[in-house]
Amino acid sequence: MMKDNTLTCPDCGRTYQPPAVQCTVDGAALYDQTAAKRVGTTLGSYEVSKILGVGGMGVVYAAQHAILEKPVAIKVLSDRFASREGGVEQFLREAKAATRIRHPNIVDVTDFGTAPDGSVYFVMEYLEGITLEDVLARDGTVNLFNAVNIIRQCCHALSAAHEEGIVHRDLKPENIFLINREGRRRVVRRIHDDSQERYVVEKEGRFDFVKLFDFGVAKYTAEDVGPSVSTRAGMLFGTPQYMSPEQARGEDVDGRSDVYALGIVFYEMVAGIVPFDGDAALDILNGHVSGTVVPPSQRNPLVTVDEGTNRTILSCLEKEPAARYQTMLELLGALANCFTDQVFLRDAHLMPGAVEAGITAPSAPPRQGSITDELSELFKGGGGEKLEQLVGFPEGDIIEEVGHQEPPDADEGKEHKTNPGIGSVKKASTPEDPPPQERTQGTMTYGVVCPPPEGPPGEEAPRQRKITSSLANRRRKR
């Protein structure tokens, strides 16, 4: 009996025959009958209910645990990719990378197994939302405030990955998943009236929580992580529109290559177009290597890009890695200068006129004693040395690194208290602002000076030391 080679679109259900690879109506990748037959079956302890999407490496299904009824997503490696040299190893690498990093802005992988037909799969947390690629295809651009919030979360996730010796190498909007959530932070908005400027403090509303995924072509720089995808001279991995110059040349890369790619994503969000594109991949790569980057402020006449954002993006896109931000934390710091008429309340001092209008960030609560302080007190002054001898770490290092697990822009509004002398960040409840004298439907309009904070607005301190480890070339549809 002849094999049924019919291919189906997961979005509209239209059917095709090879060599078709995507739907001519909606552009979705097509899946074969083998993928379709898994729906309604069981993979390990999970009951498969439907196809969520199709990628270059395999098919992603919606499923739930047969006993616990917990919803999950299952990615099954395609037979076509499994037959390639190193295909299975690359698939497993993606699962191992996510598990090793364990960061709230990176999709969590919880299980792995082999299907009855021999196919390998891994189980991920089930996410409801859309990719940044979908947002750009729908809206064209992302407003600056939301764009900066997305980039901030990506910085936290990638910083954690780099600390584990993992370079993503394929950052692009398709691999940035957005989950719309209710925010709890407060935002300052500058409103331009005909006669004057007003500043309003209001609740954040809903925001996009980021989940990074697809570490399939990641590079591992730490010896204990495992081998990377083969990087023979001249072999390229990634998507041309988002490759760094050194990546385009087939050279060795490090975390600064991810800085470049994230800069491309930032550029695209605010300008609505990538800096280098074309019909031929070679032309795109040559643009990254030797082409001149047109500033995003000059690329799209329909959008306004402030000078701080312009400067930050262009710094990410320097040709030489040494001229870029050297770490994700450096880029994170530069993002504080990327704004127009909206900032988080904690950054109110950065917006010209806000402080003069009486808007101040909440003051940090008094520092609470830690176990280090208590033990030092027991040792009567010489506690630092004795404590180090007792627990094997310098004083202060035994405090839990909460910042690694929940970055400030990923935890829905909790302010962070910084202790520069300790390589960690402790979370503290956000104190309430002084009662406003004028309130309308939950919004505070400021014209009255509030009591100043006792200290400078809190900023997250970069971690000084880590104690515990915790599809083809894409073309934008316009």
Report yes or no on 409 lying in a domain.
no
Whether 266 and 291 share a structural domain: yes
Residues 112 and 42 in one domain: yes
CATH number of the CATH domain containing 276: 1.10.510.10
What pLDDT does residue 229 have? 47
Max CA pair span of the chain: 85
Whether pLDDT at 208 is above 70 = yes
Residue 65 belongs to what domain range?
A: 7-125
Relative to beta strand 425-427, strand 439-440 is: unpaired
Please say whether the beta carbons of 314 and 260 come within 8 A: no
User: At residue 459, does pLDDT exceed 80?
Assistant: no
- pLDDT band of residue 417 (cuts 50, 70, 90) is very low
Residue 307, domain member (yes or no): yes
Q: Are 140 and 178 found together in one domain?
A: yes
- Among 26-40, 195-209, 312-326, the minimum mean pLDDT is found in 26-40
pLDDT at residue 361 greater than cutoff 90: no
Same domain, 271 and 141: yes
pLDDT greater at residue 32 or residue 203: 203
> In terms of Cα–Cα distance, which of 158, 407, 159, 146 is closest to 266?
146
Q: According to the model, what pLDDT value does residue 222 have? A: 57
Residue 54 lies in a domain: yes
pLDDT, residue 147, reads 97
Place of tokens 């001229």: 323
Kindly state the helix (H) or strand (E) to which residue 4 belongs, with its residue range. Answer: none
Domain shared by 175 and 306, yes or no = yes
Could you say which of 125, 143, 169 is where a domain stops? Answer: 125
Least reliable range by pLDDT among 49-53, 257-261, 332-336:
49-53
Distance, in Å, from the CA atom of 226 to the CA atom of 229, rounded to the nearest integer, reads: 10
Residue 347: pLDDT band with limits 50, 70, 90? very high
pLDDT, mean over the chain: 77
On whether residue 327 sits in a domain, the answer given is yes
Q: Is the pLDDT of residue 343 over 70?
A: yes
pLDDT at 183 over 90: yes
Is residue 411 in a domain?
no
| Number of domains the chain is built from | 3
Whether residues 175 and 250 share a domain: the answer is: yes
In a domain, 440, yes or no: no
How far apart, in whole angstroms, are the C-alpha atoms of residue 66 and residue 64?
A: 6
Among residues 340, 355, 375, the one where a domain terminates is 340
Give me the pLDDT at residue 196, please: 83
pLDDT score of 146 more than 80 = yes
In this predicted structure, what is the pLDDT of residue 70?
96
End-to-end CA distance of the chain: 43
**pTM > 0.85:** no
Structure tokens given for 181: 């959530």
- Tell me the CATH number at 28: 3.30.200.20
Residue 73 predicted with pLDDT over 80: yes
* pLDDT above 80 (res 149): yes
Residues with a catalytic annotation lie at 170
Task: Determine contact, residues 428/364, Cβ cutoff 8 Å.
Answer: yes
pLDDT score of 108 more than 70: yes
User: Do 168 and 118 sit in the same domain of this protein?
Assistant: no
pLDDT interval class at 242 (50, 70, 90)? very high
Whether residues 76 and 106 share a domain: the answer is: yes
Query: 14-59, pLDDT tens digit by residue?
Result: 899 888 878 888 877 788 888 888 999 999 999 999 998 877 678 9
Same domain, 135 and 89: no
pLDDT value at residue 223: 53
User: Is residue 237 included in any domain, yes or no?
Assistant: yes
What pLDDT is attached to residue 370?
A: 55
One domain, residues 320 and 386 = no
Give yes or no: residues 230 and 286 share one domain. yes
In this structure, are 117 and 161 located in the same domain? no
* Residue 386 falls inside a structural domain: yes
User: Which of 89, 106, 125 is at the close of a domain?
Assistant: 125
